Amino acid sequence: MFFVSFVVQSVKICSMTDRYVYLNGEILPESEASLSVFDTGFLHGASVFTTLRSHNGNAFRLDRHIARLLGMAEKIGIRHDATTEGLTAAVAEILQTNKIAEGRIRITISPGPVGAGKPTTIVTASPLEAYPKWWYESGIGVMVSGVRQFTGDPTAGLKTGCYLPRVLARQAAAAAGAEEALWFTEAGHLAEACFCNVFIVREGEVSTPPLDTPVLPGVVREAIVELCEKLAIDCRIDKPITGEDVASAEEMFLTSSTAGVRPVVRIAKTPVGDEKPGPITKKLITAYEQLLDEE
């Protein structure tokens, strides 16, 4: 827990367009929303968040996102007053108020100015622009990050405000001409990408790093595991993935809430398989798009 008292001042959350946000029980124009400059989420990254998408005006698997968010807050002692019911209603209201059908939603909670008042709960929603078609039709390239996932890091496998290492790794990937970067553990096992879960396919079997690697328990990761079972595709979620496994992968793909399922066809300059989205990946992309429509 965080127990430092401050005199509360505030900073405006400004925007070029005046969409609405949910802030501590109120729906406000972005230009009128403000936080304490002493909010520990701002000062120390003492916050947890989740990002998800809406499709046809509905948030995909919102219940799972909220359960994970509140579980993360409990795990690292983030003081908050958010509830499942309150967050569910806030997401529905912010989508309706902003008239968003296809959108990116973020829920953030922090202890606020600890010892001096109310915890902070923010829900934002913005239109989700279409991603490049070639990501899905031709596949993307990734690089291997020099950053490592350490098992002793209390924030590993969580979405917290301490995301700067991931942002920097993603920037390094972009500078190298890649769309994402793969993270490995100090033991040399595949973990995840900067903002995505990772799957590989070898000899017809799909596998993804175990949660205790540690990696984020992604909601789309979970959906893909379910779809593999439904489609009778072998899928392993309990075996660490080595660098040799990655090097011999016939297919690879990334999953995230906003970008969905993206085929990976190159690691740096090395092709994955025949450098084209593979048949299992394409089957799962189609199945996931159907799942979005259904749910």
pLDDT tens digits, one per residue of 164-203: 999 999 999 999 999 999 999 999 999 999 999 999 999 9
- pLDDT tens across 143-170, in order? 999 999 998 899 999 999 999 999 999 9
State the pLDDT at residue 242.
97
* Distance in angstroms (rounded) separating the CA atoms of residues 109 and 93: 18
For 10-127, CATH number?
3.30.470.10
* Distance in angstroms (rounded) separating the CA atoms of residues 251 and 204: 9
* Distance in angstroms (rounded) separating the CA atoms of residues 55 and 66: 17
Give the residues across from 59 on adjacent strands: 54
- pLDDT tens across 213-230, in order? 999 999 999 999 999 999
* Distance in angstroms (rounded) separating the CA atoms of residues 238 and 212: 9
State the pLDDT at residue 11.
44
Q: Where in the chain is CATH 3.30.470.10?
A: 10-127
How far does Cα 286 stand from its chain's mean position?
21
* Distance in angstroms (rounded) separating the CA atoms of residues 101 and 226: 25
Q: Where in the chain is CATH 3.20.10.10?
A: 133-294
CATH architecture for residues 133-294: Alpha-Beta Barrel (3.20)
Q: Give me the half-sphere count of Cα atoms (radius 13 Å) on the Cβ side of residue 253.
A: 31
pLDDT (tens, 9 = 90+) of the chain, 295 residues, equals: 333 333 334 444 444 467 999 999 999 999 999 999 999 999 999 999 999 999 999 999 999 999 999 999 999 999 999 999 999 999 999 999 999 999 999 999 999 997 777 999 999 999 999 999 999 999 999 999 999 999 889 999 999 999 999 999 999 999 999 999 999 999 999 999 999 999 999 999 999 999 999 999 999 999 999 999 999 999 999 999 999 999 999 999 999 999 999 999 999 999 999 999 999 999 999 999 999 999 9
State the pLDDT at residue 17.
61
What is the DSSP secondary structure assignment for residue 32, as one 8-state letter?
G
Helix (H) or strand (E) holding 92: helix 84-97
Inter-axis angle of helices 219-230 and 279-294, nearest 10: 110
State the pLDDT at residue 3.
32
pTM: predicted TM-score of the whole model, two decimal places? 0.92
Encoded tokens for 217 = 């328990």
Residue type at 98 in one-letter notation: N
Strands 140-149, 180-185: pairing kind: parallel
CB neighbour list of residue 9: distance below 8 Å, 6 or more residues apart: 36, 37, 38
Helix (H) or strand (E) holding 255: strand 251-256
* Distance in angstroms (rounded) separating the CA atoms of residues 285 and 273: 18
